[in-house]
Homo-oligomer: A and B are copies of this chain.
């Protein structure tokens, strides 16, 4: 599982805003909860629960994996965080503010983030074909990336 490339670290104020929001809802800011937020808001890319719990490759203190999952759940309920499943492997978590969508290659496993408007014609085609409102921010749009497509010389 490769990681999407478009995302960047959240603006500095976003972490503070998230903390305010948390307090406004009557929730406490514990050490591990702050850690989860810091990890997500400074990562610049979606992260796994395991990465967060193990300290983001030395950048942050480590903390318990179960607490990380519990906090991710809580923060997602508050609308501060969201998660996605890009192929097999563990779920990935990111600040909710980034509403990028994802495209993933089934063959090489790579995935990339694209901003929502890039796929508006796709959404329109889906609406016309099956009446669904397509969303690619939780599960990606899957297929063969241009390079794998070429290698396989695929039927269109």
Contacts and interface: CB of A to CB of B under 8 A. Distances in A.
A132 B119 contact: no
A11 interface: no
Nearest to A139: B142
A153 to B, nearest CB: 11
B146 A142 contact: no
Contacts of A1: none
Contact of A141 (B85, B134, B138): B134
Interface residues of A, number: 38
Nearest to A127: B156
Nearest to A154: B133
A-side interface mostly: mixed
A114 B131 CA distance: 12
Interface string A110-146: 0000100011011111111111111110111111111
30 contacts: A85-B88, A87-B139, A103-B132, A104-B139, A106-B135, A106-B138, A114-B129, A119-B129, A119-B130, A121-B128, A122-B125, A122-B129, A123-B156, A124-B125, A125-B125, A126-B143, A127-B156, A130-B141, A131-B145, A132-B141, A132-B143, A132-B144, A132-B146, A132-B149, A133-B154, A133-B156, A134-B142, A135-B142, A136-B142, A139-B142
